[in-house]
Chains A and B, each alone.
Chain A
Amino acid sequence: MTHNAPVPGGHALPVDHRAGGELLSARGLSRRFGHLWALRDATFTVRTGEILGLIGPNGSGKSTLFQCLAGTMPTNAGVVEQDGSALGAEDRKRVLYFMPDGIRPWPDQTVSWMLGFVRGLWGATADQYDEVMRSLGVERLRYSAMGSLSKGEHKRVLLAAALLTPQPILMLDEPFDGLDLRQTRETMEVLRRHAAKGRTLFLSIHQLGDAAKICDRFVMLSDGRVVGEGTLDELKTAAALASATPASLEEVFLALT
């Protein structure tokens, strides 16, 4: 089934909503800082309705990949495609939304304003707004200044803002960073519910245990290169680990990186 995604601020792009169908692909994405390649020839696909995990060691280029994909950082080479057509930065704004890690936007404004602003920008309904506020437990932070929030509170507010956007693909950089165990589990549940409604999630996760719990498939990065892509079983095969062996994601990760 193909229909037009509800995208504000411009015409909608045709999106293939068949579960598991290819929604977006990156081909040969590369990014260089001076002589250092942060990303080299990264090629992978994003499928409709899946929760895709981007995993890799520190400094492997996960955040750079997300920024390049979102069009907030230029690439030195490569294309992002949908239905075989290259998407420019403006088109990508309609297909995917990226919430970075480590940002501290609008510290003088309230949580209520920040989420209201995002809602006003993207046209989220009152029901969606209330549901997101409630599910991520940010209602009680409504009148707090963004700059006064703890790391975990801040992370949940940014997640709430991201969930109010309408793009078919949502990219979250370290969505569980700063959350305690209970909050991590609750947030995973919220993200799963969101994905079940048809939105594709692409999560950069540093903790492999967390990644294994929530993701359907993985893109594994090492030293700026994609060293593996697929489900855990597919990665095990790629890592030449006997499928009879009950290998964990950690073992696959160590074998491939």
Chain B
Amino acid sequence: MRSPDRVGLWRVLVAKEMRELMASRSYWLLLLVVGALVGHAFMTATAAYAEASGAGGGASALSQGLNPLTGIVVPTLGAYDLAATLLFPFVVIRLVAAERETGALILMLQAPVRFRELMAAKGVALAIGWLVAGVPGLIALVWWSGMRGHVHAPELGAVVLGHLLRGVMTIGVASAAAALSASAASAAIVALTVTLGAWALDYAAAARGGALETIAQYTPEAALRQFEQGELRASTVLVMLLLGIGGLAIAAQWLRVGRQRVERRWGVLVVVVIVAIASFASSRVHISYDLSEDRRNSFSRVDDAALGAIKSPLHITVYLAGEDPRLADLQRGVFAKLRRRLPEVEITYAAKGRSGLFERAGDHYGEVWYQLGERRAMSRSATEEIVLETVYQIAGVAAPTTRDDAAYPGYPLVATPQYVSVVFLVLWPLALAGCWWATRRRLIGAVV
């Protein structure tokens, strides 16, 4: 016998995991459902976009408001968020848990590779599987482009990257759940519990500030929202990757059943601590790029230049409740941009209630205080220009007199794609059925 080299072994392992993925009915179901969801979302989005662009002889909305990122790309690819939350975890769990349940794990534990390499091969196969699931989304976007719909490649790239990383996170979380749970059914419950927990964290962290708000930035939904706004934050990319790889590492530690349970527990704990520390360090990386064409995540260029002169930390105290729409406007329209531009922004949410309906006069409700060093100023406005004026005032920086950024032109398009439902609801399932049949022939052989 001759020893296969490392590359050869890796090829054997990844090919094995790909075959297992192809043999999984849950994966084919995922592909089928994703096609239908993307098709429906694309139809709905293009119809709404055409309507807003003045289809049917109606009045067109302001052209500046017609943005393909918000109108087409995000809703069409939104199907993948749903798939990553409710379908993909089961595909991952099946691939990780099945070997333990059938006893194949004992054979794999004796394979001439390290166990972490086995898990890495599973991760690679699942990532390829997630990429393949992106085909319906690709078809929709090519279709949109073929209709002369506008596409801004950098912002599209950000959204696509967001969904890819969302898939990586799902691989990590579901792998860990599959490894730590006694059965696939339990793992599914754990994975869904994590999803519900992330939603709850998203809700609870709103208008809380501090560590809770920082952590909540990295829940799958919140992280994806950043990409959907065309923003590429290094910290978010790193944390999503860390969570994905960390989940696989946890699975690799726990499934090494030849080691004592206490030893495996310590292994898992070490991975958790390393991921936590690395994630914390990553969250301190303040590198971000606004890839949106309309610069929705940035102030005007002159304001960005003026704010560059401010080096000290900006403290903001907000007397607005979490459910107050003014707070949402401030967070999205001003605070997020300030955080991108200034070296340090610390926000304190000082309102007592959650709704803001029962605040008393002495509670300063509605006030937003800005402080740089010893200088403080208060503003009640959620408008970008007024907030900036307040910040310039306490910073002693001259406010720019003109903002000469070209206005976003907007890309209205009165066009409705024909036969979308035929492609996504008939041809896509037929293509899948053909592929399934072909792979079954290959998997089971010509005799079937």
Contacts and interface: CB of A to CB of B under 8 A. Distances in A.
Interface of A: 6-10, 67, 70-74, 89, 93-94, 97-100, 102-110, 112-113, 117, 120-125, 128, 142-145, 161, 166
Contact of B112 (A10, A104, A105): A10
14 contacts: A9-B111, A70-B110, A72-B257, A72-B258, A89-B258, A97-B110, A104-B103, A106-B102, A108-B443, A109-B443, A117-B16, A125-B1, A144-B447, A166-B1
A143 B447 contact: yes
Contacts of B443: 108-110, 113
Contacts of B106: 67, 70, 72, 98, 100, 103
A249 B191 CA distance: 53
B111 A121 contact: yes
A82 to B, nearest CB: 17
B398 interface: no
A122 B257 contact: no
B3 A7 contact: yes
A100 B258 CA distance: 14
A74 B258 contact: yes
A107 B443 CA distance: 11
A107 B99 CA distance: 10
A77 to B, nearest CB: 11
B19 interface: yes
Contacts of A113: 19, 443
B103 A72 contact: no
A9 B1 contact: no
A72 B19 contact: no
A169 B301 CA distance: 72
B444 A104 contact: no
A98 B103 contact: no
A26 to B, nearest CB: 15
Chain A's interface: helix, strand, loop or mixed, by majority?
A: loop
B20 interface: yes
A74 B109 contact: no
A97 B109 CA distance: 10
A21 B144 CA distance: 75
B2 interface: yes
Nearest to A76: B260
A145 B23 CA distance: 11
Smallest CB-CB A-B distances: 4 pairs: A9-B112, A103-B103, A143-B445, A105-B104
A110 B103 contact: no
B112 A93 contact: yes
B16 A9 contact: no
Contact of B4 (A67, A105, A121): A121
Interface string B1-27: 111100011001000100110011000
B3 A6 contact: yes
Given A72-B106, A120-B4, A8 B99 contact: no
A143 B446 contact: yes
B153 interface: no
A110 B112 contact: no
Contacts of B448: 143
B3 A106 contact: no
B20 A106 contact: yes
Interface string B273-303: 0000000000000000000000000000000
Contacts of B12: 117, 120-121
Nearest to A71: B258
Contacts of B142: none
B442 to A, nearest CB: 9
B129 to A, nearest CB: 15
Contacts of B260: 74
Nearest to B262: A74
A93 B448 CA distance: 37
Contacts of B403: none
B305 interface: no
B259 interface: yes
A67 B259 CA distance: 12
Contacts of A71: 109-110, 258
Contact of A109 (B9, B23, B107): B23
Contact of A122 (B23, B104, B109, B112): B112
A87 to B, nearest CB: 13
A72 to B, nearest CB: 5
A117 B106 CA distance: 15
B189 interface: no
Contact of A103 (B16, B104, B257): B104
B438 interface: no
Contacts of B102: 103-107
Given A70-B110, A72-B110, A123 B4 contact: yes
A9 B3 contact: yes
Interface string B187-226: 0000000000000000000000000000000000000000
Interface string B425-448: 000000000000000000111111
A121 B9 contact: yes
A74 B1 CA distance: 30
B113 interface: yes
A210 to B, nearest CB: 23
A10 B446 CA distance: 37
A123 B113 CA distance: 13
B103 A74 contact: no
Contact of A8 (B1, B19, B446): B1
B103 A105 contact: yes
B445 A142 contact: yes
Contacts of B263: 74
